[in-house]
Amino acid sequence: MWEHHELQSTYDVVIVGGGVHGLATAYYLARNHGITNVAVVEKSYIGSGGSGRNTAIVRSNYLTAEGSRFYDRSIKLYERLASDLNFNVMFEQRGHMTLAHNDSSLRTMRWRAEVNKLQGIDSAVISLAEIKKLAPFLDTTERPRYPIVGALWHPPGGIVRHDAVVWGYARAAAALGVHIHQETELVGIDVESDRVVGVQTGRGPVSTSTVINCTAGWASLISAMAGVTLPITTRPLQAAVTEPVKHFLHPVIVSGSLHTYVSQTARGELVFGASVDPFASYSTRGSLEFTTGLASHILELMPAVENMRLLRQWAGLCDMTPDYGPIIGPTGVDGFYVDVGWGTYGFKAGPVAGESVAAMIASGHRAS
């Protein structure tokens, strides 16, 4: 889909990490700002990090006005991404439903819905009767330990084909002149008098004045190469998928109280996710605790799926910050930028973060 290039001895911008954040930044740098002498260096294959391992949920019904607006911009970009990139990213806006199992979550949901509406975002609290209509396989009786009492309903939310987003951005960026270097590991950043002058890679040195760290779970290691410390701890997040069955679940269903969520792919598999592992790690091994915990929670929500079989489970690395907020911008080292800390929710932000980071770089860019 894109050409293989020799590593040039110099680039205007070196982006570290070939996930959705790095590739979207490269694409918008080229498309919106005409900055095309750009390299994306990826130590493995593109999408090998969180961007190829996530559960692909997109939404914008956040609790703050700023958050809602930011993610709404991402949804708008996702809505026309297929035509922008000339690549089918299979964005399906099936609606996103967050279940409430008690009065206090219902209260917060009302608050969220009002904040969202003020930003022009489709978001509302719905009753059990409406939940039953939208997702008849949910157990809406009094049987579960934590019965469902209502939900926050967000029609523009949905799922997108994560690999297609990664490949689409890569292909479109490459067509505009960006070099995408897979199997090219960053091993050092050259800093002179608090200013970036180049990088060292497994394929040789590159001189550059601008480096953007888009490495998510590995963000601390890359920043340390420039002498920058980040408030980040790396934790695995696991997901699992069942065998495919006939389509029966249309919206994305999330239960915060049960630490679980589920959606059905176009191919018919149920995709499940959860919360991060209980301890920090750079290991992407799955655990039995995850699958047993997941199964018990899912059966509380949807007892009808008890005979379905899991096909696979996997883990990806998440860059967790103390306040769960991302870290975007310049650092104490001139020319060294970060777009990290996206933790468990950064796929949906890929387009808007790429667009914003590209604008930030372009506004301060020194022509070479």
Residue 251 as a binder of ligand FAD (CB under 6 A): the answer is no
Q: How far is the CB of 265 from ligand FAD (least distance, A)?
A: 12
Residue 55 as a binder of ligand FAD (CB under 6 A): the answer is yes
Q: Scanning residues 288 to 317, which ones bind other proteins (CB under 8 A)? A: 288-289
Q: How far is the CB of 288 from ligand FAD (least distance, A)?
A: 17
DSSP 276: -
Please choose which of ligand FAD, other proteins, none residue 311 contacts, taking the beta carbon within 5 to 8 angstroms, the exact cut-off set by kind. none
Q: What is the crossing angle of helices 20-33 and 350-363, to 10°?
A: 50
Query: Residues 74, 351: contact at Cβ < 8 Å?
Result: yes
Residue 157 as a binder of ligand FAD (CB under 6 A): the answer is no
Among 232, 240, 327, 358, binds other proteins (CB under 8 A): 232
Residue 70 as a binder of ligand FAD (CB under 6 A): the answer is no
The 29-48 contact track toward ligand FAD, x by CB under 6 A, reads ------------xxxx---x
Please choose which of ligand FAD, other proteins, none residue 8 contacts, taking the beta carbon within 5 to 8 angstroms, the exact cut-off set by kind. none
Distance CA 100, CA 229 (A): 38
Distance CA 353, CA 15 (A): 14
Q: How far is the CB of 141 from ligand FAD (least distance, A)?
A: 28
Total residues interacting with other proteins, rule: CB under 8 A: 21
Distance CA 346, CA 61 (A): 15
Contacts of 339 (CB under 8 A, 6+ apart): 21, 25, 212, 213, 214, 326, 327, 328, 353, 357
Distance CA 217, CA 342 (A): 9
Give the residues lining the site for other proteins (CB under 8 A): 218, 220-221, 224, 229-234, 278-283, 285, 287-289, 322
